[in-house]
C-alpha cells in the first residue's frame, strides 16, 4: 500500500478533534511546502464527511483556516526577510528566477493575484512570498487570501463529498479532476506567455523600424 494510503488509513482511526486539527495542519504545510499533497488529504476529509464521520462545516473551516495561516506565514516571512535575502539564497522551491517573475506579475496585477492564488497550482507559495516582499497591505492580503482559500476548499470538498463513500473511487476521480485542471491551467499559461512574447517581439520590430527611418 502506498505511503499516502497508509497515512490516510491511520487518519481514519483517530479521534474527530485530532482529525480536524490534522486536516488544518496539512492545508497549512501544503502552502509552505508545495510538494505536500494537501489537496488529497482535504479530499479525504470530504470523503469522511460523505461517510458521516466528520462534519462538513468543521472540515471546511479547518482546511480553510489552515490554508490562510500557511499563506500568511510566507507573506510575513517575505515581508520580514525582504527581496535581497531570497535573491541571494536562490532556494529550490523559492528560486531567485521565480521571485523576479512573481514581482513582475505583481507590478501588473497586484492584489488580483492574491485573490486567485489558490487556483494557481504550484506557485501560490511564490505569490505569498512575493506579496510580502512587495509590501502589500496585510489586512487586504489576508482578506483576499481567505476568500481564495474559502472558494477553493468549498469547491474541492463539495466535489469529494458528491463522489460517494468509496475512498478508492473518490481518490481516483479527484486525482483525474485535479490532473485535468492542472494541465488546463498550464496550457492556458503557455498561451498567455506565448501571446506576451509575440507582443514583445512585435513592439521590438516596430521600434527597430522607426529607428531605421
For residue 154, what pLDDT is reported?
A: 86
Within 13 A of 49's CA, how many CA atoms are on the CB side?
25
Supply 212's cell numbers: 531605421
Per-10-residue mean pLDDT, the chain, length 213: 60 80 86 66 75 85 92 89 75 69 72 84 78 86 92 82 64 65 61 63 67 62
Q: Cα separations (Å) of 73 from 29, 31, 76, 171?
A: 10, 9, 5, 29
Q: Is 3 helix (H, G, I), strand (E, B) or coil?
A: helix
- pTM here is 0.70
Dihedral sign, CA of 57, 62, 63, 64?
Answer: positive
Cβ atoms 10, 50 nearer than 8 A: no
How many of the other CB atoms lie within 10 Å of CB of 119? 13
Q: Determine contact, residues 23/63, Cβ cutoff 8 Å.
A: yes
Centroid of chain to Cα 139: 19
Q: What is the pLDDT of residue 78?
A: 84
Give whole-number Cα distances, 98 to 59, 72, 125, 126, 199, in Å.
32, 19, 11, 7, 22
Is residue 71 within 8 Å of 31, Cβ to Cβ? Answer: yes
Q: The C-alpha cell of 192 is what?
A: 498567455
What string of H, E and C letters represents the secondary structure of 51-94? Answer: CCCCCHHHHHHHHHHHHHHHHHHHHHHHHHHHHHHHHHHCCCCC
Q: Any residues with CB less than 8 A from the CB of 148 and at least 6 apart, and which?
A: 114, 115, 116, 117, 118, 119
Amino acid at each position: 500500500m502506498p505511503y499516502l494510503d497508509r497515512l490516510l488509513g491511520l487518519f481514519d482511526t483517530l479521534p474527530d478533534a485530532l482529525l480536524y486539527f490534522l486536516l488544518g495542519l496539512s492545508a497549512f504545510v501544503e502552502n509552505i511546502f508545495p510538494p505536500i499533497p494537501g489537496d488529497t488529504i482535504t479530499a479525504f476529509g470530504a470523503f469522511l464527511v460523505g461517510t458521516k464521520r466528520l462534519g462538513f462545516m468543521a472540515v471546511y473551516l479547518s482546511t480553510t483556516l489552515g490554508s490562510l495561516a500557511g499563506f500568511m506565514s510566507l507573506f510575513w516571512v517575505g515581508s520580514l526577510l525582504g527581496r535581497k535575502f531570497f535573491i541571494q539564497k536562490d532556494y529550490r522551491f523559492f528560486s531567485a528566477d521565480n521571485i523576479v517573475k512573481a514581482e513582475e506579475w505583481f507590478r501588473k496585477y497586484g492584489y488580483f493575484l492574491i485573490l486567485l492564488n489558490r487556483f494557481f497550482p504550484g506557485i501560490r507559495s511564490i505569490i505569498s512570498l512575493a506579496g510580502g516582499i512587495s509590501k502589500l497591505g496585510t489586512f487586504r492580503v489576508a482578506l483576499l487570501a481567505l476568500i481564495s482559500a474559502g472558494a477553493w476548499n468549498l469547491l474541492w470538498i463539495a466535489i469529494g463529498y458528491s463522489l460517494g463513500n468509496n475512498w478508492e473511487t473518490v481518490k481516483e476521480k479527484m486525482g483525474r479532476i485535479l490532473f485535468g485542471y492542472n494541465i488546463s491551467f498550464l496550457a492556458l499559461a503557455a498561451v498567455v506567455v506565448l501571446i506576451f512574447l509575440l507582443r514583445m517581439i512585435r513592439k521590438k520590430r516596430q521600434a527597430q523600424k522607426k529607428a531605421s527611418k
